[in-house]
Chains A and B, each alone.
Chain A
Amino acid sequence: MLVSLSRREVLLAGSAASFVLAVPALASPEEMNEAIRRFTSGAETKAGRVRLDLPPLVENGNAAPLAILVESPMTEADHVRRIAVFNERNPQPNVITAHLGPRSGRASLSTRIRLANSQRITAVAEMSDGSFWSGTADVIVTLAACIEGA
């Protein structure tokens, strides 16, 4: 069977294919909320107790410094069990999930993350009493990570 394609159709198909290759589907805020729900198993997340430090303007999205400090006495009876970081606009909503305990002494964590776009980053902490607390930070990114070849 002979399939005849006009020049215009070939060009259209080509440009569509390269668009798909260059831009992988980015996560959406809904996907981030879904990931947070999976983390909390549907429990309610209250705002507060989690301080998320991220520079408001990041020049290089390949390595954005991030620091989290959760208000907690970190005792056997009252401590932070897990801290998870989520993003809205990278290809995947998860960034890191850390497991802590009373032997941590302080509920703090610092790392460097990739940012594909200007977005809001959310950190959620699970306390030993089963409650979930969150903190957010808005960040503007001038050079995106993840998608472009570096």
Chain B
Amino acid sequence: MARALVNIPKTARRGDVIEIRTLISHEMETGYRPGPNGVLLPRDIITRFTCTYNGVEVFSAELFPAMSANPYLVFTTVASESGTIALTWTGDNGFSQTETATIEVA
């Protein structure tokens, strides 16, 4: 399990635009970098990120090796209803991790 930091407001007013900040610890090995023995290290990156709000996808992204290690992503969504926001990272070598947060919308 990689360490993930997720910053989502716990409460919001209906219709507010909330900012979701995420960071997950991951090497994001590009596949272009030589290892200690001079042989290129195989690519190992997170290729996809999705954010669902009560099961509906509100944001997603395809990531490429040009993303920094420990990918950091900030995006926004409209606080439409109380519920669960789920963030999923998937990538090479079967990497998959999901973090969830609950939001109270008044």
A residues touching B (Cβ–Cβ < 8 Å)? 21-22, 24, 62-64, 87, 90-92, 94-101, 103-106, 108-115, 145-150
Contacts and interface: CB of A to CB of B under 8 A. Distances in A.
B68 A63 contact: yes
A104 B53 CA distance: 11
A98 B65 contact: no
Those 3 A-B pairs whose CB atoms lie nearest each other, nearest first: A105-B17, A110-B74, A112-B68
Interface secondary structure of B, over-half rule = strand
A66 to B, nearest CB: 10
A111 B67 contact: yes
Contact of A112 (B30, B67, B78): B67
Given A98-B75, A99-B59, A103-B80, A114 B33 contact: no
A146 B30 contact: yes
A97 B38 contact: no
A109 B75 contact: yes
16 contacts: A21-B34, A62-B69, A94-B64, A98-B60, A98-B61, A98-B75, A99-B59, A101-B58, A104-B76, A108-B76, A111-B74, A112-B71, A114-B30, A146-B66, A149-B34, A149-B36
Nearest to A83: B61
B65 A146 contact: yes
B5 interface: no
B63 interface: yes
Contact of B68 (A62, A87, A100, A106): A62
Interface in B15-70: 17-18, 30, 32-36, 38, 40, 53, 56, 58-69
Nearest to B60: A99
B73 interface: yes
Nearest to A84: B62
A114 B17 CA distance: 29
A96 B76 contact: no
B77 interface: yes
Contacts of B59: 98-100, 104
